Structure 1
Amino acid sequence: MTTALQQQVFALDAKYNANRAPNSPGFRTLYIRRRSQLLRETEREPDKWAQYLKLRSTLLQQRYGNAGCDSTHLRSTSRSSISNESRTSIFGVKDVVVPTKQAEASRAIVGGNSIAENYAFKGVHHIFDQHNEPVTMVKFANNDQSLLCCSSVDGNLSVCNVTDSPPAVLAILKDHTKAVTGFDWSANNDLIASSSLDSTVKVWKVADYSCLRTVQDPNSSQILCCLFQPVNNNLLITGNSRGEVRIANVSTGRFMKNVCRVTGNVLCLASDANGKTIWAGNDKGEIVSILCDISGQLCRTRRLNMGMPCSITSLSYRAWISREARDPLLLVNSSNNSLCLFNIVDYEGTLSLKRRFPNRHTKHSVKSTFCPIMSFRQGACVVTGSDDGSVYFIDIEKHGSRSCVNTLQGHSSPVLGITFNYNESLLATSDLEGLVIIWKRADL
C-alpha cells in the first residue's frame, strides 16, 4: 500500500513538472529525479501518505492551477477526462496514474535520451580484489550511493565505500566457516544478514561490524539464501538445501516452527514491497509462490515450472519500472540460457511469462537486477551477468538482438553478482575469480 501511494505522489509531481521552469528542461529533469529519490527515502504510515498526497495535490493546484488533477480525482475522475495519462491497478490500490507517451511531463523527464544513451558507461571506476574466491553476491545499501557489501565463497563478507578517494574496504566480516551464499541489508541499513553453507544465518551490526546474532538451521541444512521481511526486519526469510523456506526471529535467534516445503535446493528468494508474497526459486526449474502474514506464517499457493531441467539462480521483484511495463514484475535468471520477465497476475503471486531473452547461462549462479530509477522513456531496462564474462543491458520492450542496448566487457570469468546504487551513477559486478568491478556512468 505504501509503495503504491508513493507512486501516486510521484505521478502527481510528474504531471505538474512541465509547469516548473518552462525554459529549463534540465532543471525539471533534475527536480523530478530528486523527488523520486526523496520519496523512496521517506517512511510514513499509509494513512500519512494518503494525507500527504491530498495536501500535496492542493498546494500544487493552488500554485499551478488545473494543470493536474486533485488527489481525490486520482480515484474518481473518468478515463476520458484525463487526456495525457492512463491508469493501472497494482493489487489493492486502484487507478495509479501513470504518464503515457503523450504526457508533457514525461517528455520533459526523458530529455531526448535513449535507453542506450542513458546506460552508457565510460569505463572502470575501481576494482576490488579483497576476496580470493568467487564473489557470490554484491549489493549496495538501500538508498545509498557509496556503501557496498560483497559475499564470497571464501567464507567472508566485505563492506566497501566506493566513492571515497580512493575507494576503500571498510571491514571484512569473518565468522562463517564455509562459503557465504547470500546476504541482505535491513531497511535502514543498520544490519546485514548473511547465509552460509555452514548451516547458519548471521546478523551483523553495521555500526561496528560485529556479529550480533547467529541462527543455526534446526536440521543443520545448508542455508542458500536469506531475505529480511520488508515490513518487519525482525524476521528473516531463509531457503535451505532441504527445499525448505523458513523464518528466523532476529531477537530470539531461533527459527520459527512453521515451514514451507518447496523441494530441491532453494537457491533464491524475492518478496513484494509489503512482504505478503514471497517467491522461491530452486534447482529443479521451479518458482514457488508463498503467502506470508505479518506474524511470519507461511502458506504455499502456486508453483511454476520452467519446463526443462535448470536452476533458478536469481529473482527480483519490481512493482513497475516504466509506462510500458506498469504491472508488478518478477525478473528471473535460469540456467537454461535465458533471462525471463514474468507478470504477477494476482494476490497469490501467480506468474505469467511476459518476455524471454537469451543469455549465456548454464552453470553458475548468475544474477540480474532492475534499474532502480523509474523510467519514463520509451523502453525499460534490466541488467544481467552471464557465463561468458559480459554484463548485458536489456531493453525489455524490444525483441531479439535489438533488446541488448549495451554490453560491458571487463571480467575474464563468469559474472555472478550485479547491483546499481540508488541513483544509477555506479554499477557493481562480481565474478568467479573474486573480482568486483565498479563501473561509472558516462554522463557523470
Structure 2
Amino acid sequence: MCLGLSHNTAPVDVRERHAFPPQKMGEALIALRDYQAVREALMLQTCGRLEIYAELEDYEAGVGQLRTFLNNFRHGDVNDMDSYMYTLLGTQAIDHLFRVSTGLDSMLIGEAEILGQVKDAYVQAQRARSLGKTLHTLFREALEAGKAARTHTSISGESTSIATAAVAFAKQHVGELDGKSVLVVGAGKMGSLAARRLRDDGASDIIVLNRSHARAQDVAQNLGGVARVAEMPGLVNALKDADVVVTSTGASHFIVTPGNVAEAMLARPSRPLFIVDIAVPRDVDPEVTRIAGVGLVDVDALKGLIDVTLEKRREAIPLVEEIIAGHVERFQQWYQSRVAVPVIASLVQKTEAIREAELARLFGRCPELTEREKILITGMSMTIVSKLLHSAITRIRGKAVENRAEAMTHARMLDELFELQALGDGELVQLAALEDMSE
C-alpha cells in the first residue's frame, strides 16, 4: 500500500508542515519497523510529495499504525492530513509508484530528479533494514521502469527539472541574466543544478551560499570563473548584491526572512529583488513580499509555466504508460507466484537431501567406483530428480499467476503429500494477502 500526500492534493504550506527532516529519515524508518502490522516500509520525500510504501500484515490495522506513526514521530497533530492524504492499495499502489518513478506524477512531467530521489529512498530503506523481499523487488522494478521511460521515450526531453523551470521563471521576470547578479542559497542537488543552468543561461556573476563552505566551494569551482562563494552569516550582504535569488536548502525553518531582506533592500532601494523558492519546507518567509521591490514565487507557483512548456513531453505519455503496464504486470506475476515459493523450496530441499543420502550410501557400499564413475552417477541422479520435479514446479508456478486459489490448493496438496511442513501460519497469512491485493 501507499499512504501519502503530494502536490496534487496538498499545497506547499501543508507539505512543508509535514515534511520529515532529511537527517531524521533513517531514524523514522527504524521506528516504522517496530509497528506490528508493518512488515516492510519505505519513505519517499521530495519537494512535491511525502509517501510511505509498505507491505502490511493487515490493511486496516496497518494503515492505522502508519497514521499513529506519523502522529508520534512528528510530535504534533496530523489530523489535518486527512483532508490531503490518499491511501492506495494493491495494484493502485504499484501503478502509482511506477507513475512516480517515470515522472508522470511529478509537478513537472518527466522531471530529471525524481528517479534519483526514488533511488535515494530505496538506498535509505536498505540502510535502515526496513525493506523485505516485496518492496526490494517492487522498487527495483520501479527504477527499471523509470530508466526505460527516459531511454525509450521523450518524457524527459526539453526542460528537465524544477530547477530549470525556476530559472526560466526568473528570466520571465528580470529578462536576460547577462549582467545580473544571482544568489543561489543551498548547494545540494537542486541548488547545484540551478547554478549550472543559471550559468548556461548567461549569468556571469553567481554567488553560491551554503551552510557548508566546502560544499559551496565545490559547486562554485564546477561553474568555472563565473561563481564566488559566500557563507551563511553573510546572507544580508549577498542579498544586497543580488538581482535574483534561487533558494533550495534542507532547513526546517525560514532562511530568508523579512528582517534580513529589509536590511538588504535599504542598501539598494532602487533595485528590485526577485526570489524563487524551490525548497520544501520553504526557505523564504512569504511576508517578504510586503517589502517594496521584492517579488517571490514558491515551487507551487511554477505550475503555470510548467504546464505551458510540456507539450512535447505529453506526447510521450501513452508510450510511458505502455512501459508502466509491462512493468506492473511483471511485478504482479512475481508477487502472485510467491504462493509457490515455500513449497517449491521445501520440495527441492527434501529431494536433494534424499538424493545426497542415497549417493553417499551407494558410494560407501561400492568403494571400487572410480572418481569418473562417481561423477557420472551423481550427474545421472541430478538429472532424474530435475526431470521429476520440473513438471510439478512449472505447473504450480504457472497456476500461481493464472489462478491463485487453485495454486493455493496445489501448494497445500504438495505440502501434505510430501510432508514438507512448508506452509506455516505465516505463509498462510501471506497467501491470503495475495487474494486481498487482487481485490
Q: Whose Rg is larger?
A: 2
TM-score range, shorter chain: under 0.3
What's the TM-score once normalised by structure 2's chain length?
Answer: 0.25
Larger relative contact order (CA 8 Å, sep ≥ 6): 2
What's the TM-score once normalised by structure 1's chain length?
Answer: 0.25
**Which one has the bigger helix percentage?**
2
